[in-house]
Structure 1
Amino acid sequence: MKCKSIYWLAVFMCLTVIGCDNTEDGSYVDPITLYEKVNGNWGLTNLKLVDEFAITNAIEPHEENLSTYFNYEDFKIKFNVDEKNQPTSYEVLGDVPPLFAPKGFWRLSSDFQQTNASGPVAIYLYSDAQKTQKTDELKLTSVPGNNDEMELKLVHSSGGSAYASYVFKLTAIN
């Protein structure tokens, strides 16, 4: 009889301990998207022209720093999102020669950073709010993180072959 009492007491204790384990995981929040990271004002720290033809044919030099030419030190870009972190408009600020449409609308090819070898996320630029008239495409080659830096690449091509690209290194402006 004493053995059965100890058995039932042990079972009761186990059930009590298991029943008290109530882990609180918090409430659900939406995951952080790239839109939240790209949103905001960005200032140019470096602009590099890359001669893709020269790279392909092993010709030097194949890069040129354009940061201090043509007022590019004044280059700023602003990416806007709405209250739901969905992309709206963008605008290039500063008296600089345009390498792509200086204002319009934008969206990303993916809401999240790619973890496979599919290449960088694209920033599609549009001339209309409905996002049906694509004007250009930028590659998000370095995603902003805790260092508030971002890198974009604009590739110019002809007949499917890239001949020049522009690499924009940007930092967040508060």
Structure 2
Amino acid sequence: MKCKSLYWIAFMMCFFAIGCDNTEDGSYVDPITLYEKVNGNWALTNLKMVDEVAKANKIEPNEENLSTYFNYEDFKIKFNVDEKNQPTSYEVTGNVPPLFAPKGYWALSSDFQPTNGGANKIYLYSDAQKTTKTDELRLISVPGKNEEMQIQLTRTSGGVDFVSYVFKLTAIN
């Protein structure tokens, strides 16, 4: 009986000794922002022009694939960030007609993906202080494991969307 009690006490002591071990989970790191995901070089996979008026009125065809026209297969865009993952500049390369300013500065409407299902916006600026906005792109598809991203440029007249361009991009390593 005394032997069983000693074994039981020894077992409990081992259990308590193991239970007091502090596991090191690492140090705190900042959450991953969209700037980290958008940062880098992107090549055009597909460019689609959508006639928003025809689409709203259910007129077909309302889309045109522009990927193979006007040298858009050479379209590349680079979004740069600084060492703190804050946006700096962007540049479009390739011999393509510009749909938006080919170089400038950029910022996102939010550092993180919105939880309400809305799209983030990429604001394009002509100056480093980001006071003169030149265009606005919608971030339709956020890059993730598949390293693909979709952005949309919409043109409006009198507050009504009449044409949009959907850029499907893949990361260049």
TM over 0.5: same fold? yes
- Cα offset for 1:154? 0.4
After the TM superposition, which residues 143-158 of structure 1 pair with which residues of structure 2 at under 5 Å, given as runs? 143-158=142-157
- Cα offset for 1:160? 0.9
For 2:61, the equivalent position in structure 1 comes to 61
Uncovered stretches (5+) of structure 1, i.e. residues with no partner: 1-8
SS at match of 2:54: helix
* One-letter amino acid of the structure 2 residue matched with residue 164 of structure 1: V
The superposition leaves residues 115-141 of structure 1 with CA deviations (integer Å, 9 ceiling, x where unpaired) of 213x10000000000000000000010
For 2:31, the equivalent position in structure 1 comes to 31
The answer to whether residue 137 in structure 2 is matched with residue 138 in structure 1 is: yes
SS at match of 2:22: coil
* One-letter amino acid of the structure 2 residue matched with residue 29 of structure 1: V
Tell me the TM-score normalized by structure 1.
0.89
Uncovered stretches (5+) of structure 2, i.e. residues with no partner: 1-8
For 2:172, the equivalent position in structure 1 comes to 173
For 1:89, the equivalent position in structure 2 comes to 89
Tell me the TM-score normalized by structure 2.
0.89
For 1:48, the equivalent position in structure 2 comes to 48
Count of equivalent residues: 167
The superposition leaves residues 52-111 of structure 1 with CA deviations (integer Å, 9 ceiling, x where unpaired) of 000111100000000000111110000000111110000000010000011000000010
For 2:3, the equivalent position in structure 1 comes to none
What is the identity percentage for the equivalent residue pairs of Structure 1 and Structure 2?
78
SS at match of 2:122: strand
* One-letter amino acid of the structure 2 residue matched with residue 152 of structure 1: I
RMSD: 2.0
